[in-house]
């Protein structure tokens, strides 16, 4: 019996758009990963599967007990709730405190029950998952990664049949991600994971891919899925080449048939003028030739239509399988020193003095746990924070890219962003460049606020690579909300970027594929 089952699920928005139709799935494996490009509707599909949103059509069958993880709610970050209150342990802890203070009311003893060691146990558990070992600490004082760990730990402590985890590794550092992997392995129930993190997806038994073509199931983990996609892409390319050959042969045969028909028609006209054959016989031959030509043309058109449909189907599948590419402007690399930090002490995080030399073509991966000061260092380089002490010299333009691509003005169009941020850019050149990354004709006038994460990334990298002076890139987890394809596209673009960058990322696969040449551990 499947843990989770969905039959013919469709969803329609109020404006009539339908992100998907007639999706069916059965969760027979204990660990299933759901993948797909940004904007395809993975989180919406997950919300339907867990009953948060009703589908326009179809039916979902859920287990009797399940829990769901979403990105941390903003109200927790701005509330006065303590860790104990969030975990629902505050009343028991209060009762233990009252009893220890001498209050022997029966009410407090009933609250405590057998949980006399809760304070010590909770302190140790919080320490083990990398959180402040004080249950009275405010949730609003936790970093994004710490808050994610707290929520995830609470979920894994529950006795449920199914966990639905939507991007659980966002904001997690390397140690926290490893804790998450171990927690997933130890969890006795089933897990449906929506993620772009290949390290997590390698822990899965089955991969579901949601695309414009529907829901496709692949056996095995992420590596098996990726290999299957590569194999399928090669097969699709072979089929496309064969269809192209058939289409060409059909066109050549049709041309030969037309030429023969024209020759026969010319011969008939000549015989009619010469009067060498009776008119009634020539008319009969003409009617027969016309009928044969009509049937032949219909057959050719049917075959052409069949081949066109087949080619269109194959092209659609190829588009889903093929990795897109982002081509950046070629610029000259340089090994001159552009940043010099001498005995610098950060205002937050890393307590030890930092000495760092950065050259123009350095590609640096800045590593460290949540709260160690990685993002703080980037903001010091940008001038947003000041060093407690030490010397900093910067001799290069900088360009900052974060996970939201905040350098893009969301109230301007795609075209306006490129024109305003690339000094000296000509309108015709801007249109050509935007067409190269998929923004053609009137699409260039779409407002940046409606772009997906992957689309913003492509625009941001296009802007970066067409600056008058080649900037050093400061990359603060730019891969955090990108789908797998966009993440790999960005990594390829960074690898080919002739300038340098300082990258903050917890995704080891992404950092390696970005062409990192140095690693610095905080």
pLDDT-derived band at 372 (thresholds 50, 70, 90) equals confident
Residue 204 scores a pLDDT above 90: yes
* Tokens read off for 366: 């800045």
**Hey, which bits of 289-421 come out as E strands?**
337-345, 354-359, 363-367, 389-394, 398-402
Residue 18 scores a pLDDT above 90: no
Over the chain, what is the mean pLDDT?
83
pLDDT, mean of residues 109-113: 81
pLDDT, mean of residues 130-135: 84
pLDDT of residue 277: 64
Instruction: Give, in order, the Cα–Cα distances in Å from 251 to each of 201, 202, 207, 303, 314.
Output: 47, 48, 42, 10, 20
Contact of 161 with 50, CB cutoff 8 Å = no
Contact of 448 with 459, CB cutoff 8 Å = yes
Contact of 465 with 328, CB cutoff 8 Å = yes
Distance CA 116, CA 452 (A): 50
Contact of 457 with 468, CB cutoff 8 Å = no
Q: What is the pLDDT of residues 457-475, one digit of tens each?
A: 888 888 887 887 778 899 8
The least confident of 297-306, 398-407, 512-521 is 297-306
Residue 323 scores a pLDDT above 90: no
pLDDT of residue 328: 52
Residue 227 scores a pLDDT above 60: yes
pLDDT, mean of residues 104-130: 84
pTM: 0.62
Residue 48 scores a pLDDT above 70: yes
Distance CA 153, CA 126 (A): 9
pLDDT of residue 356: 87
Contact of 153 with 139, CB cutoff 8 Å = no
CA-based nearest residue to 199, from 232, 168, 156, 163: 168
pLDDT-derived band at 506 (thresholds 50, 70, 90) equals confident
C-alpha torsion angle, residues 261, 266, 269, 271 (rounded to 10): -100
Q: What is the largest CA-CA distance in the chain?
A: 130
3-state secondary structure (DSSP) of residue 254: helix
CA-based nearest residue to 457, from 432, 485, 429: 485
């Amino acid at each position: 019996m499947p843990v989770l089952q969905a039959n013919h699920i469709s969803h329609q928005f109020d404006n009539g758009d339908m992100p998907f139709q007639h999706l069916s799935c059965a969760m027979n494996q204990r660990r299933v990963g759901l993948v797909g490009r940004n904007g395809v509707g993975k989180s919406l599909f997950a919300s339907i599967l867990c009953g948060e949103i009703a589908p326009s059509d179809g039916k979902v069958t859920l287990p009797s007990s399940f829990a769901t993880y979403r990105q941390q709610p903003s109200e927790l970050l701005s509330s006065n709730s303590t860790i104990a209150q969030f975990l629902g342990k505050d009343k028991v802890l209060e009762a233990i405190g009252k009893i220890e203070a001498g209050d022997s009311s029966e009410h407090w003893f009933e609250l405590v029950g057998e949980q006399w060691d809760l304070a010590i146990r909770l302190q140790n558990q919080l320490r083990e998952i990398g959180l402040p070992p004080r249950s009275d600490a405010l949730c609003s004082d936790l970093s994004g990664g710490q808050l994610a760990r707290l929520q995830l730990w609470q979920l894994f402590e529950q006795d449920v049949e199914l966990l639905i985890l939507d991007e659980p590794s966002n904001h997690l550092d390397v140690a926290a991600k490893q804790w998450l992997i171990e927690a997933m392995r130890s969890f006795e129930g089933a897990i449906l994971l929506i993620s772009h993190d290949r390290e997590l997806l390698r822990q899965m038994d089955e991969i579901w891919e949601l695309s414009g073509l529907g829901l496709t199931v692949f056996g095995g983990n992420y590596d098996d899925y990726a290999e299957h996609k590569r194999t399928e892409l090669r097969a699709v390319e072979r089929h496309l080449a064969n269809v192209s050959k058939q289409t060409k042969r059909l066109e050549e045969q049709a041309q030969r048939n037309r030429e023969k028909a024209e020759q026969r028609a010319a011969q008939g006209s000549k015989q009619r003028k010469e009067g060498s054959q009776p008119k009634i016989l020539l008319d009969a031959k003409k009617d027969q030739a016309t009928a044969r030509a009509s049937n032949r043309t219909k057959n050719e058109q049917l075959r052409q239509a069949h081949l066109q449909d087949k080619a269109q189907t194959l092209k659609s599948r190829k588009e889903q399988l093929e990795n897109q590419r982002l081509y950046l402007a070629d610029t000259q690399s340089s090994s001159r020193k552009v940043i010099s930090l001498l005995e610098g002490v950060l205002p937050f995080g890393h307590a030890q003095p930092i000495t760092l030399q950065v050259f123009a073509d350095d590609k640096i991966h800045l590593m460290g746990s949540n709260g160690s000061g990685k993002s703080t260092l980037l903001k010091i380089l940008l001038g947003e924070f000041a060093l407690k002490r030490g010397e900093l010299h910067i001799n290069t333009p900088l360009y900052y890219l974060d996970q939201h691509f905040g350098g893009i003005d969301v109230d301007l169009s795609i075209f306006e962003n490129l024109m305003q941020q690339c000094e000296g850019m000509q309108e015709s050149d801007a249109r050509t460049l935007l067409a190269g990354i998929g923004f053609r004709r009137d699409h260039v006038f779409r407002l940046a606020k409606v772009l997906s994460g992957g689309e913003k990334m492509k625009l941001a990298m296009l802007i970066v690579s067409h600056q008058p002076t080649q900037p050093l890139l400061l990359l603060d987890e730019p891969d955090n909300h990108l789908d797998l394809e966009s993440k790999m596209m960005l990594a390829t673009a960074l690898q080919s970027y002739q300038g340098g960058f300082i990258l903050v990322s917890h995704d080891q696969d992404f950092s390696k594929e970005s062409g990192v040449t140095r690693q610095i551990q905080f």
